[in-house]
């Protein structure tokens, strides 16, 4: 699953992606990212069982991270 994440300002300094790999049975692969003091976004690949990926995405949304699916390659 390829997703685009947009982080709220209060989550930029937190280990959100690291926590995903620890809490859920997913492998995270950061493909592109841009983070500053005031904003952050990331293109992320999640690999794992469908239900674990769904749980991970729901956890991101509960933290206030915007999750949008990416169509096609994240390198385009």
Domains and CATH numbers, the chain: 2-69 (3.30.70.260)
Give per-residue pLDDT as tens, 13-67.
899 999 999 999 999 999 999 998 888 999 999 999 999 999 999 999 999 999 9
Distances (CA, A) of 38 to 9, 10, 35, 41, 70: 6, 9, 8, 11, 23
Q: Choose between 13 and 6: higher pLDDT.
A: 6
């Amino acid at each position: 699953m390829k997703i685009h994440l947009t982080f709220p300002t209060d989550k930029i300094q937190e280990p959100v992606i690291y926590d995903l790999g620890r809490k859920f049975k997913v492998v995270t692969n950061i493909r592109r990212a841009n983070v500053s003091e005031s904003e952050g976004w990331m293109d992320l690949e999640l690999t794992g069982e469908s239900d674990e990926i769904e749980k991970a995405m729901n956890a991101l949304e509960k933290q206030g991270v915007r999750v949008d699916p990416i169509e096609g390659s994240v390198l385009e």
